[in-house]
Amino acid sequence: MKYNSDNYKESAILSIINELLIVGIKILVYEPNLNVSIDNVIIEKNFELFTKQSDLIVANRWDRGLEAYKDKVYTRGIWIRD
């Protein structure tokens, strides 16, 4: 999603989440501003809890706050901008 966007319904990641759920992968989403639920997806609003519970973090873009977790972060957004 676009930085600071709340239009999750248009997010391309939703189709990926659905495919992962179909094969039985547990999905945990960090989104402190999301006030809706997504079936079979855990929404975590606390970043520290999110990082402790995550084996892999898929990020839309790189953020300096991910530096401590870089060994488990996957992102195609290698540039820090927006």
In this predicted structure, what is the pLDDT of residue 46? Answer: 96
Q: How many domains does the chain have?
A: 1
| CATH code for the domain in which residue 38 is found | 3.40.50.720
Range of the domain at 41: 8-75
Decide if 51 is inside a domain.
Answer: yes
- The DSSP 8-state label assigned to residue 67 in this structure reads G
80 is a domain residue: no
Structure tokens at 62: 């790189």
Per-position pLDDT tens, the chain of length 82? 445 555 555 577 788 889 999 999 999 999 898 888 888 999 999 999 999 999 999 988 888 999 999 999 998 876 666 5
Residues 54 and 28 sit within 8 Å (Cβ to Cβ): yes
